[in-house]
Amino acid sequence: MIPILFEHNALPAKNNGPNNSDSSTIDIGHGIGDLVDAVECGVKCADDHSYELELTYPSTGRLFSELKTNRLIVAKANNRDNNQIFRIYGYEKGVGDLITVKAQHISYDLNDVIFFPYLGTYYPSPYLAKDVHPDYYMPAMLMTDLKNTDYYLTSNNPFTLKSYTGASELNYPHGTHLSINTPVGVRGVFHDVVETFGGICYFDNYTVYYTTYIIPTGAKQNQVIIEYGKDIIDLQQEENISEMVTGIIPFFKGKDRSKDGDSEWHGPDSVVLGDIHYVSGTIDRHKIVPVDVSSKFSKSNSVDDDIWDGVSPQQDWIPLKQCVDKVGEDLIKNGKYGIPEVNLTLDSTQFSGDVRLYDIVTVRFLRLGIDMNARVSSTTYDVLNERIAEIELGTSRERLLSERWDMEYRKYWT
């Protein structure tokens, strides 16, 4: 499509589009004008919540003088979603008479919507600090407050939040919590909740989606297959996959100071060895390493029923094998095992099909018998030619084959 330029306040939220999503870019006309002289235009969207547009434009172009900071550009970000709104924030000098216009997704305006949960009618309030600085122990608690307009210090918030949590929330570690004790921009809150509790956050103009379901709104279990040796010839990637850990043996090592009632007993260390726990997927060559899980059974974790697997512990008690295996199961499901050390970036010549952020595609490495799912963590969309230019598999934490979600047992939300 041809990107369209608008005044800074020309596209307010409407919230009545298809499937009750935002429709700010439906039937909007042509604003200041179509940027027909654009040489290049790309939109990059990533799972670290970055969402930006870059437009290469000649100084001789008809609308060059109109490309002012804070104005809006509407462009296609992928082949499935509504057209998206981007706000111009800067420029870079290019080659010859070209400049690069930089714009951020309209959701960055959430940085200026200030959230501060408090108890009372207005902040500051006469309540004690412990009453106005709550801890959130699950994302659903925070989502409830984020939907409550009483908690915004900034008026005229145009954004709508849609969350899908509850029974399908991720199994985050016991004691995990998020404390918000100072006023903070809402976009930063979403970053923190994903970092703390996991899940996925996706922005569609003035609508923000947060979900703990494996496939978020608009994404899908894709039919695209990425195959090493066929679609990809990359020795560095092969080396990383060859060396990845695909199985662990959890073990506990420590002194049982409660032996014979003597809290100062200094006998030899007791060792509790668990079974081998493998990553899911079809893998015919395993690399197995021992993992010391002793720290999981410290006094601070002694009341964690999930870690102790329902066995009633005592102070400095040596865990049973079933407890060590429970930790091993959690590590193999939620850890970085079975994941190469680097991400995989593919240009449009290395795959075919419609791909979108958070889609799940299949990655095959037949030499090692690997046939596993991988999540699309970043897309770069060629706006002018309406096609995906590049995708990245993995996440912003340099993961390729993410085992964070248990894809065999979780139900997909569509």
Residue 119: per-residue pLDDT:
47
Residue 316: per-residue pLDDT:
53
How confident is the prediction for the chain on average, in pLDDT?
A: 77
Phi, psi of 336 (to 5 degrees): -105, 15
Greatest alpha-carbon span in the chain? 88
Comparing 336 with 291, which gets the higher pLDDT? 291
For residue 379, what are the CA distances in angstroms to 192, 355, 389?
Answer: 22, 8, 8
Residue of 219, 233, 220, 227 lying closest to 363 (CA atoms): 227
User: Over 70: is that where the pLDDT of 319 sits?
Assistant: yes
- What pLDDT, in 10s, does the model give residues 193-208? 888 887 889 999 999 9
User: Over 60: is that where the pLDDT of 50 sits?
Assistant: yes
Residue 127: per-residue pLDDT:
47
- Amino acid identity of residue 315, one-letter, is Q
For residue 26, what are the CA distances in angstroms to 23, 52, 75, 83, 344?
Answer: 5, 21, 12, 8, 35
- CATH class in words for 221-243+339-393: mainly beta
**34 bridge partner residues:** 4
- What pLDDT, in 10s, does the model give residues 82-140? 999 999 999 998 778 999 999 999 999 999 888 877 644 444 444 444 455 577 888 88
- Amino acid identity of residue 191, one-letter, is H
What integer is the mean pLDDT of 275-290?
Answer: 80
As given in the structure block, the two tokens for residue 128 are 């004690």
User: Over 50: is that where the pLDDT of 401 sits?
Assistant: no
Phi, psi of 122 (to 5 degrees): -160, 150
What integer is the mean pLDDT of 341-351?
Answer: 69
- What pLDDT, in 10s, does the model give residues 207-230? 999 988 777 878 888 888 887 766
Q: What is the DSSP string of 247-297?
A: EEEEEEEE--TTGGG-TT---PPEEEE---EE-SSB-SS--EEEEE-GGGG
Domain spans, the chain: 4-111, 113-211, 221-243+339-393, 247-334
